[in-house]
């Protein structure tokens, strides 16, 4: 099969590698769609993990083969797969901090080499504990491209549940890339008033259409005053940091009121540093949350939201690339064009 292999030095190589064999309890998925996620981009850009690896974890496809003792799935089933699933028994799982579970931290989906998701390949092997609890069937009529959003939507839903915004809250969402726009869709369902920011006009237009009361350029000198005007001079009740630009976490505190809840969602690299006044948190009684990866508790709900068509998810897809053009897709994701958003890789397709 063909796969996009990370070979180090921020480089990807299209290679022919063996199709994975499945063991008892495992399944093989033919990958039809896989979204490019910024956590994978950071791993490539910053060389965070040793090569070789095959990234890609927003995976939708068709069951191609099942191992012995697999009864829940059969060849031909259309499915999405989560690459992390917790043990549900350890200290962290008992406290619902699933992303800290040792089993959760093991990647259970691979195309070969050290397991890393594998969705940027034509086939992935799904290990037994993922088959048991981390695979969802795609209903008829739902495209693979749309279905690939189940995992990223889950991660955003987890953050929204953690923040618990109320109808009388003003929520500021910093960044309106694909993840920021998913947050906008989800926060709209809570009834909160939203102010969103992004440097790109097209993304601000979409944000307004998806429910933001105001969508502004973060470079606007009047931004903080506009937020103060909307909140009786207090500042935002909730701030979601959905981008990783330098200084953005500091902006979140600046725009928030005393006692506000602030979510750091996009700060996934240890190379990203934040400088805050301790008094802004201590004296200002603000709470800063971190939220990372998906929650098994929200797996069914996130799948239902994506599959049900309630959210305008497919409007987020701006580009689709065959596997051999993945480097173009990665470059576009790292350096967006005015109207680029979510980029989908289709590993079964190949441009000549």
SS (H, E, C) 165-222: CCCCCEEEEECCCHHHHHHHHHHHCCCCEEEEECCCHHHHHHHHHCCCCEEECCCCCC
Q: For residue 156, is pLDDT > 90? A: yes
| pLDDT at res. 269 | 80
pLDDT digits (tens, 9 = 90+) for 254-277: 999 999 999 999 998 888 899 999
On whether both 235 and 342 belong to a single domain, the answer is no
On whether both 29 and 88 belong to a single domain, the answer is yes
Sole residue written with tokens 């960044």:
175
| pLDDT at res. 268 | 84
Distance CA 194, CA 236 (A): 9
pTM over 0.95: yes
**Tokens of residue 239, six digits:** 């701030």
| pLDDT at res. 48 | 87
211 compared with 38, residue with greater pLDDT: 211
| pLDDT at res. 270 | 83
> Domain total for the chain?
2
Q: Which helix (H) or strand (E) holds 263?
A: strand 256-264
Residue 180: CATH number of its domain: 3.40.50.720
Look up the domain containing 235 and give its range.
Answer: 154-290
| pLDDT at res. 146 | 99
Q: For residue 229, is pLDDT > 70? A: yes
352 within some domain = no
pLDDT digits (tens, 9 = 90+) for 60-77: 999 999 999 999 999 999
271 within some domain = yes
On whether both 245 and 196 belong to a single domain, the answer is yes
Mean pLDDT of all residues belonging to the chain: 97
pLDDT digits (tens, 9 = 90+) for 280-296: 999 999 999 999 999 99
| pLDDT at res. 352 | 60
On whether both 10 and 106 belong to a single domain, the answer is yes
pLDDT digits (tens, 9 = 90+) for 307-326: 999 999 999 999 999 999 99
């Amino acid at each position: 099969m063909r796969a996009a292999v990370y070979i180090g030095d921020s480089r990807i190589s299209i290679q022919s590698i063996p199709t994975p064999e499945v063991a008892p309890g495992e399944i093989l998925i033919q990958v039809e769609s896989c979204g490019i996620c910024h956590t994978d981009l950071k791993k490539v850009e910053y060389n965070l993990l040793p090569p070789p690896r095959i990234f890609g974890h927003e995976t939708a496809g068709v069951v191609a083969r099942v191992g012995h003792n697999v009864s829940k799935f059969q060849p031909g089933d259309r499915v999405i797969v989560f690459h992390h699933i917790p043990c549900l028994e350890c200290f962290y799982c008992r406290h619902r901090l699933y992303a800290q579970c040792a089993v959760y931290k093991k990647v259970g989906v691979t195309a070969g080499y050290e397991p890393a998701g594998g969705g940027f390949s034509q086939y992935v092997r799904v290990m037994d504990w993922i088959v048991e609890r981390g695979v969802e069937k795609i209903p008829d009529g739902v495209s693979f491209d749309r279905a690939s959003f189940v995992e990223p939507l889950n991660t955003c839903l987890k953050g929204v549940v953690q923040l618990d915004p109320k109808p009388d809250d003003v929520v500021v969402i910093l960044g309106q890339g694909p993840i920021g726009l998913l947050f906008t869709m989800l926060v709209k369902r809570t009834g909160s008033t939203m102010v969103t920011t992004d440097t790109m006009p097209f993304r601000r237009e979409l944000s307004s259409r998806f429910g933001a009361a105001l969508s502004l350029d973060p470079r606007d000198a009047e931004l903080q005053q506009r937020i103060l005007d909307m909140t009786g001079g207090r500042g935002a009740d909730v701030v979601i940091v959905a981008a990783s630009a330098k200084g953005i976490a500091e902006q979140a505190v600046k725009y928030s009121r005393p006692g506000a809840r602030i979510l750091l969602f996009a700060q996934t690299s240890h190379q990203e540093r934040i400088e805050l006044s301790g008094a802004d948190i201590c004296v200002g009684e603000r709470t800063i949350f971190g939220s990372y990866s998906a929650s098994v508790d929200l797996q069914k709900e996130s799948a239902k939201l994506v599959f049900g068509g309630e959210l305008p998810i497919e409007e987020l897809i701006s580009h689709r690339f065959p596997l051999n053009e993945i480097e173009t897709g990665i470059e576009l994701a790292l350096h967006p064009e005015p109207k680029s958003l979510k980029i989908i890789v289709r590993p079964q397709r190949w441009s000549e």
